[in-house]
Amino acid sequence: MSALHEHVSCELLLTNSCNMRCGYCIARNLPGPPMTREIGRKALDMFVFLAQGAKSLEITFTGGEPLLEFSLLEELTGYAHERAHEAGMEVSFVLKTNGTILTQAIVDYMRGHCIKVVVSIDGTPAAHDKYRRTAGGRGTHKVVSGNLLEFMHDGVSCVASVTVHPRLSRMVLENVRYLYELGVVNIDVGPAYGTVTWNGN
Amino acid sequence: MVIDGHALAQSLEDVALYMGKVNGTGARLEVGPLYHESEHVGEMLSARWGCHAASTNLAFLPTGQITGCSALAMLASTFPELILGDVSGGLNDEAVAHLVHVAQAGGEDRPACQGCQAAANCAGGCLAINYSTCGVPLTPPDFYCQTISMIPRVWHRAWPERMPTATAHETAYGEVCTD
């Protein structure tokens, strides 16, 4: 990263922990404690230093499930604002979440800090609940779709992230249509990989 | 046997047609990878194509270790060369140079892509997908090629006003790995 680029980005994996056990997750066996505030600050210091010359920064909070560490997210958002301001750069934020954790404080924070929220939701209840389950094996569609709607209704910019398992590769349109009819107008579709087999090669 | 990669590519075409229908009403529906500003539609929008790992993007793990992106972070225990350094010791220049090299390798370094008509606007695949399915950075899996090569063919159906001179073209794949 250098002054050659006007726009640079970094991702902060706040934790490897997750409250879900999705069937195709490539990160499900990663161990370890969450990021400390000290490491988070050092990461941002390094990122801003390396980004010297850039005009804008994008910082993505991800994991694991980053909302398990919401207080750390708040702390690092504030710190990133400070460092970016000192360096004369614009900064924007993205949160990638499984959509199962929501409080009014979280909604207010995302809206207040213009944080774009990317919610993992695979489409219809049947498609979503086939792989996106809790540690106890329960489907999560009802909770996730409800929380996504709450984010959107409260004015938070949202993207639905759809992961396509090979077994559902013929149902993408059905799932896109479902999400659009739910009110989602930004949808990101990507394949599951690493833990699944795409046949026919 | 139904080929999953073909099914996904066909689904993408169906989604493009649906997007065109929605967007034709004056509404706005963006579905990636058929973004309005997609990098995979030939020379017209090619400014953003390619893998940005270690060039314009870094990922910081909870431990303070650094990789080129969060997807590559998931693979670092299997492929330790993906660790580029840490927040205390800084970046390993050699590891960064290697990752940038494979992320931005041209066609001459990607034998699997030679002969593929989609190579001009496909940067050789997603490194994380390549590593996790083929075990190497420069060989993409078949399902990825089938999907990505469909984009230039169907994108104009999602955004007909955006590409008046669009020309659909058939794609011949180069050699790809089996996952």
Of chain A, the percentage scoring pLDDT greater than 70 comes to 97
Using an 8 Å CB-CB cutoff, list chain B residues near A9: 52, 56-57
Using an 8 Å CB-CB cutoff, list chain A residues near B103: none
Q: Judge whether A197 lies within some domain.
A: no
> Residue B24's closest CA among B153, B156, B166?
B156
Q: Please judge whether A11 and B18 are an interchain contact, meaning their C-beta atoms are less than 8 angstroms apart.
A: no
Q: Judge whether A174 lies within some domain.
A: yes
B23 confidence band (pLDDT: 50, 70, 90): very high
Q: Please judge whether B62 and A35 are an interchain contact, meaning their C-beta atoms are less than 8 angstroms apart.
A: yes
Q: Measured between CB atoms, does A94 come within 8 Å of chain B?
A: no
Q: How far is CA A168 from CA A45, A97, A136, B79, in A?
A: 42, 22, 23, 29
Q: Judge whether A63 lies within some domain.
A: yes
Instruction: Report pLDDT for B148.
Output: 84
Contacts of A92 (CB under 8 A, 6+ apart): A56, A57, A58, A59, A114, A116
Instruction: Report pLDDT for A63.
Output: 94
Q: Are strands A7-13 and B85-86 parallel, antiparallel or unpaired?
A: unpaired
Each domain of chain B, given as residue ranges in start order, spans 1-49+109-179, 52-103
Would you tell me which residues 1-20 of chain B have a C-beta closer than 8 angstroms to some C-beta of chain A? 1-8, 10-12, 14-15, 18
> Residue B173's closest CA among A32, A118, A201, A91?
A201
**Which CATH number fits the domain that encloses residue A14?**
3.20.20.70
Is ipTM over 0.90? yes
Instruction: Report pLDDT for B39.
Output: 67
pLDDT tens-digit profile of B137-172? Answer: 999 998 988 888 888 888 889 988 765 544 434 334
Q: Judge whether A200 lies within some domain.
A: no
The rounded distance, in Å, linking the Cα atoms of A67 and A73 is 8
Contacts of B46 (CB under 8 A, 6+ apart): B39, B121
Using an 8 Å CB-CB cutoff, list chain A residues near B60: 10-13, 35, 39-40, 43, 47
Give residue A66's domain range: 7-191
How many domains in chain A?
1
Q: Measured between CB atoms, does A71 come within 8 Å of chain B?
A: no
Can you list the residues of chain A whose pLDDT is less than 70? Answer: 1-4, 200-201
